[in-house]
Amino acid sequence: MKILVPVKRVIDYNVRVRVKADGSGVDLANVKMAMNPFDEIAVEEALRLREAGLASEVVAFSAGTAASQETLRTAMALGADRAILVETAVELQPLAVAKLLAAIVAREASRLVILGKQAIDDDAGQTGQMLAALLGWPQATFASKVAIADGRATVKREIDGGIETLEMPLPAVVTTDLRLNEPRYATLPNIMKAKKKPLEVLTPADLGVDVTPRLQTLMVAEPPPRHAGIRVADVAELVAKLKNEAKVI
Amino acid sequence: MPILVIAEHDSAGLKAATAHAVTAAARIGGEIHVLVAGSACSGAAQAAARIAGVAKVLVADAAHYAAQLAENEAALVVQLVQGNAGYTHVLAPATTHGRNMLPRVAALLDVAQISDIVAVEAPDTFVRPIYAGNALATVKSTDAVKVITVRTTAFDAAGQGGAAAVEAVAAGPDLGLTKLVGRELTESARPELAAAKVVVSGGRGLASSENYHRLLEPLADRLGAALGASRAAVDAGFVPNDCQVGQTGKIVAPQLYIAIGISGAIQHLAGMRDSQVIVAINRDAEAPIFQVADYGLVGDLFKLVPELTEALG
């Protein structure tokens, strides 16, 4: 069984983002970039399935500019066998990425796609579900435990009221939540080895996919600022403020 | 320009999130229909009919909607949108149910989804948070049908007093793709976290599950509050996952949010920064949580929290 793991190059989760003065977007110049944290969890899960003998190959995928090669090398340093980049300068939205992935799944005959549940840049949380829809596959989003046996997946999912367990036949799409696993770190020898692993570069046209954005961003603005209030000296002062000033208790 | 709102429900009753999504639909403007897809869900349908501003409640009652699985429900929604009603917008609350199901609808309709909107600028233009709420993007959709999830804290709940017609609709196909094995739902007599007026939230500073419950529960009881947690507290197993407040957990905006032993990572602030009043109790005077707190109390939470509970008695 081949597992496909899409990874996205995003701003590092520790970086405080700044909105550009002209309102056209977020300033990404000279900002530390990294693999989307949920995708690291996806890579880890795929590797564990391969290490357990349940998968033959883990293929990493990314779409975007050539800079995404770096993210794919990271995935291969973690243990992915090879990588595919769909290179384009067009701003990619989730529907377009899902269409690219659907084309890759057909080409690669992948039986399982594990994605992050959302990317921490656009916070859209759509690609996995859209891919499942386009392929007509079952989906298990927000996964906190994945078990594969006899061509079926049993997945625990984090839902608003607690945990839900679903069972589905493969092929299927799984999206990862935070507590699915603890991703490993890449070792130096593996980082060196990853440089020699195959990385194929395609274009959207190679796959016959129209990636034209459907949403137009008119403006990006800072949220209304929230200012630090005051320090209270003790519990008595806090309670008095909450009662008399804020009037919330 | 009819708008289809997907109800959040448990068959017997309707979840509050639905009424918030109805308000977002009202901002867009147009006749509002609410879809209740479930099994033996007339209780939820009747409750939806009482929401002010709802013109019609559509009920798809079939065994294969009992578990509210995304595959079957999305197929039903697509069938309704492609029918004669001429829906221009499909809205669902941005709950785990809506976030799971709705992108499937969008892909099957070959349209974009606009996730987690916090404002309606025009029927095709919406504001949504990006980068954990550190920026707000105004986006315009060029698609014929707008598929939208709604951040419930950004829209007040629509009122009661409606008397919408309740109409049965034909069920869609049973795709038989997934099977629900079971649900372990957290039982609690406290208010629902996402809708509570007061939230008492704990973090790593509490150091253990035992401390979390021993210190925070009496305080939450005094205040009639829901209990929340930072990711660190959930990862450490102090409380179940559904208590997590933050970018990837629940988004809350209560009248009062009390953060106890929470340092205030960007990802946590994303989930609570729209609270009306924020109180932070932390021993680290430099903790980022104090940058957003209206009232900050620096000190030992093991001493201060019982004192606060006592003072509220």
Asked if the peptide bond before residue A171 counts as cis, ω within 30 degrees of 0, the response is yes
Within an 8 Å CB–CB cutoff, is residue B179 touching chain A? Answer: yes
Tens-digit pLDDT profile for residues A97-129: 999 999 999 999 999 999 999 999 999 999 999
The count of domains in chain B is 2
Determine, yes or no, domain membership for B162: yes
Determine, yes or no, domain membership for B297: yes
Determine, yes or no, domain membership for B183: no
Q: Using CA atoms, how far apart are residues A27 and A19, in angstroms rounded to an integer?
A: 6
Tens-digit pLDDT profile for residues A9-51: 999 999 989 999 999 999 999 999 999 999 999 999 999 999 9
pLDDT at B186 over 90: no
How far away is chain B from the Cα of A194, in angstroms, using its nearest Cα?
30
Does residue B205 sit in the same domain as residue B160?
no
Mutation choice for B interface testing from A22, A39, A129 by most B CBs within 10 A: A129
Continuous segment of H or E residues that includes residue A167: strand A162-169
Q: Using CA atoms, how far apart are residues B58 and B167, in angstroms rounded to an integer?
A: 5
Q: Which domain holds residue B87?
A: 3-168
Last residue within a domain, chosen from B168, B185, B210: B168
Tens-digit pLDDT profile for residues B113-163: 999 999 999 999 999 999 999 999 999 999 999 999 999 999 999 999 999
How far away is chain A from the Cα of B126, in angstroms, using its nearest Cα?
10
Q: What length is written for chain B?
A: 313
Q: Where are the domains of chain A?
A: 2-245
Determine, yes or no, domain membership for B175: no
Does residue B56 sit in the same domain as residue B103?
yes
B184's tokens: 């372990």
Q: Do B311 and A236 touch (CB under 8 A)?
A: yes
Q: Using CA atoms, how far apart are residues B30 and B216, in angstroms rounded to an integer?
A: 45
Determine, yes or no, domain membership for B173: no
Does residue B253 sit in the same domain as residue B217?
yes
CATH architecture of A2-245: 3-Layer(aba) Sandwich (3.40)
The one-letter code for the residue type at B278 is I
Does residue B224 sit in the same domain as residue B161?
no
Query: For A64, left (φ over 0), alpha (ψ -120 to 50), or beta?
Result: left
Tens-digit pLDDT profile for residues B261-305: 999 999 999 999 999 999 999 999 999 999 999 999 999 999 999
Within an 8 Å CB–CB cutoff, is residue B163 touching chain A? Answer: no
Does residue B163 sit in the same domain as residue B214?
no
Q: Do A139 and B106 touch (CB under 8 A)?
A: no
Q: How confident is the model at residue B56 (pLDDT cuts 50, 70, 90)?
A: very high
Within an 8 Å CB–CB cutoff, is residue B151 touching chain A? Answer: no
Determine, yes or no, domain membership for B174: no
Q: Give the strand pairing for B119-122 and B125-130.
A: antiparallel
Within an 8 Å CB–CB cutoff, is residue B291 touching chain A? Answer: yes
Does residue B207 sit in the same domain as residue B252?
yes
Contacts of A177 in chain B (CB under 8 A): 241, 248
Tens-digit pLDDT profile for residues A62-89: 999 999 999 999 999 999 999 999 999 9
How many Cβ atoms sit within 10 Å of the Cβ of residue B272? Answer: 27
pLDDT attached to residue B80: 98
Facing B298 at nearest CB: one of A120, A231, A246: A231
Q: Which of A152-156, A238-242, B22-26, B246-250 has the lowest mean pLDDT?
A: B246-250
How far away is chain B from the Cα of A48, in angstroms, using its nearest Cα?
20
Continuous segment of H or E residues that includes residue A145: strand A139-149
Within an 8 Å CB–CB cutoff, is residue A121 touching chain B? Answer: yes
Does residue B117 sit in the same domain as residue B213?
no
Q: Which of residues 219-248 of A touch B (CB under 8 A)?
A: 219-223, 226, 228-232, 234-236, 238-239, 241-242, 246, 248
Facing B130 at nearest CB: one of A94, A123, A141: A123
Q: How confident is the model at residue B1 (pLDDT cuts 50, 70, 90)?
A: confident
Facing B139 at nearest CB: one of A128, A218, A235: A218
Q: How confident is the model at residue B188 (pLDDT cuts 50, 70, 90)?
A: confident
Mean pLDDT rounded to a whole number for chain A? 97
- What backbone torsions phi and psi does residue B129 show, to the nearest 5 degrees? -75, 145
CATH number at residue B148: 3.40.50.620
The one-letter code for the residue type at B89 is H
CATH number at residue B300: 3.40.50.1220
Q: Which of residues 21-60 of B touch A (CB under 8 A)?
A: none
Does residue B270 sit in the same domain as residue B154?
no
**How large is the ipTM?**
0.96
